[in-house]
Structure 1
Amino acid sequence: MRFIFHYPETGGVDADILDPGPLGEVAAAAEEAGFAGFSLSEHPAPGARWLGAGGHQTLDPFVALGYAAALTSRIRLITYLSVAPYRNPMLLAKAAATLDKLSGGRAILGIGTGYLKGEFHAVGIDFEERNTLFDEALDVLPLHWKGEPFSYTGTHFSARDVQARPTPVQQPIPIWIGGNSALSRRRVARAAHGWIPMSGGAELSSTARTPELGSIDDLARKIAEVRSAAENAGRTDHIDLVYSYSHTGLTGPGEDPEPHRKAFEALARAGVDWITVSTRAGVHDTVDPAVTLEFLSSFGTTYID
């Protein structure tokens, strides 16, 4: 089992994004603690109403992960998630390739279709086109990364005999797709290297416009179906399963780690490869930098071999 530390997302309208601690220091501490991945999400223009109801701010994930890359040497750098329809796929591919090249092959591109209508309007993208735009990105990304001339006509662009360099270190950069829908799972089986289901329960699933994930048994069945579908499509590479573990009480004086160890073991039996943890603040709370660093050290000592 490998663990990802998701840089804590500060809630509400007044919190500062870097309240949980200096990004580079936190990334380096996560690497030192034994985490295999460090991740950031993306919301370029979140609505004030959504923020007040529990939403969160973010840094630009590609800029921030590029900064983290310079202060680390091993940890994987993950967009969790970048909203693919927000960007022309050439720009998305270039950002990911640049991060991979500068980090020595440590990038993982986690992408989703997005769900905040107001944010789509703010960045000038038609919300109803999000699935079409997402599928176009899936087509373009590997073509762009090969570094050879290619052509592709999309809904709002026409690339004729373009050739993009630098090529990323990884060929291709791993793509992880978020979402619980059958469509998301079909996309993973066809064209991605990992699946990031949403595990936050009914309320979060409703907000994010995706079905509930269900029980661990449901998860195990869906993982098996995705991997079987990939094999039936002629694929031989492993499909990673990335699970967000949001339970409280992971670390701290007097906390019993055994229930969490058992939960991690159950997830591993279900087919989970990566578990994401964080110290996300509540809507009106902040995460003190010292708390973040203590969490990383304690989690690494308690749960990471």
Structure 2
Amino acid sequence: MRFIFHYPETGGVDGDVLDAGPLGEVAAAAERSGFGGFSFSEHPAPGARWLGAGGHQTLDPFVALGYAAALTERIRLITYLSVAPYRNPMLLAKAAATLDKLSGGRAILGIGTGYLKGEFHALGVDFDERNTLFDEALDVLPLHWKGEPFSYTGKHFSARDVQARPVPVQQPIPIWIGGNSALSRRRVARAAHGWIPMSGGAELSTTARTPELGSIAELANKISEVRSAAETAGRADHIDLVYSYSHQGLTGPGADPGAHREAFAELARAGVDWIVVSTRSGVHETLDPDATFDFLTAFGATYID
């Protein structure tokens, strides 16, 4: 089992996005503590109403991860998630390739279709076209990353005999797709290297416009189906399963490490490869850099071999 530390996100509009601690120092501490990945989400124009109801701010993930890359050596750098329809796929591919090149092959591109209508509107992107936009990005990304001339004709994006560099270190950069729908799972089986289901329960699933994930047993069945579908499609590479573990009390007074270890073991038996943890504050909570570093040290010592 490998663990990802998601840089804590500031809820609401109070405080600064970096209140959880200096980005570079937090990334380096996560690496020292044994985390295998470091991640950021993406919300370039979140609505005030959504923020007031529990939404969160975030840094630009590619800029932030590029900064973290310079101060770390081994940890994987993950967009969790970048909203693919927000960007022209050539720009998305270029950002990911640049991050991968500068980090020595440590980028993982987690992408989703997005769900905030107001944010789509603010960015001038048609919300109703998000699935078509997403699928076109899936087509374009690996073509762009090969570094060879290619042409592509889609509904929203067309290119004739273009050639882009740098060529990323990884061929291709791993793509992880978020979402609980059958469509998301089909996309993973066809064209991705990992699946990121949303594990936040019914309320979060409603907000994010995706079906509720269900029990661990149901998750295990879905993981098996995705991997079998990938094999049927002729793919031999492993499909990673990435699970967000949002329970409180992982470290500190009152923590029950045995219970969490058993929960991690149950997820591993279900087929989970990566577990995402964080110390995100709620809307009215305050982030504390000292608490972030204490959490990283304690989590690594308690749960990471």
Same fold (TM over 0.5): yes
Deviates more, 1:225-234 or 1:12-21: 12-21
Q: In structure 1, what is the Cα distance between the partners aligned to 2:12 and 2:292?
A: 19
Residue 154 of structure 1, CA deviation: 2.4
Name the structure 2 match of 1:274. Answer: 274
Q: Aligned letter for 1:20?
A: A
Q: Aligned letter for 2:53?
A: A
Q: In structure 2, what is the Cα distance between the partners aligned to 1:219 and 1:182?
A: 12
Unaligned runs of 5+ in 1: none
Name the structure 2 match of 1:261. Answer: 261
Name the structure 1 match of 2:242. Answer: 242
Name the structure 2 match of 1:97. Answer: 97
RMSD over aligned Cα atoms: 0.6
Name the structure 2 match of 1:11. Answer: 11
Q: Which deviations, in whole Å up to 9, do the C-alpha atoms of 1:71-117 show, x marking residues without a partner? A: 00000000000000000000000000000000000000000000000
Secondary structure, aligned partner of 1:9: coil
Secondary structure, aligned partner of 1:59: coil
Secondary structure, aligned partner of 1:171: coil
Secondary structure, aligned partner of 2:128: helix
Residue 16 of structure 1, CA deviation: 1.0
Residue 42 of structure 1, CA deviation: 0.1
Name the structure 2 match of 1:166. Answer: 166
Secondary structure, aligned partner of 1:18: coil
Q: Aligned letter for 1:273?
A: D
Q: In structure 2, what is the Cα distance between the partners aligned to 1:64 and 1:277?
A: 18
Q: In structure 1, what is the Cα distance between the partners aligned to 2:238 and 2:60?
A: 29
* Count of matched residue positions in the alignment of Structure 1 and Structure 2: 305
Name the structure 1 match of 2:107. Answer: 107
Unaligned runs of 5+ in 2: none
Secondary structure, aligned partner of 1:246: coil
Q: In structure 2, what is the Cα distance between the partners aligned to 1:287 and 1:192?
A: 34
Q: In structure 2, what is the Cα distance between the partners aligned to 1:169 and 1:7?
A: 25
Q: How do residues 137-286 of structure 1 correspond to structure 2 at under 5 angstroms?
A: 137-286=137-286
Residue 158 of structure 1, CA deviation: 1.9
The 4+ residue runs of structure 1 with deviation greater than 4 A are none
Aligned residues of 2:133 and 2:156 also touching (Cα < 8 A): no
Q: In structure 2, what is the Cα distance between the partners aligned to 1:117 and 1:15?
A: 25
Name the structure 2 match of 1:28. Answer: 28
Q: Aligned letter for 2:152?
A: Y
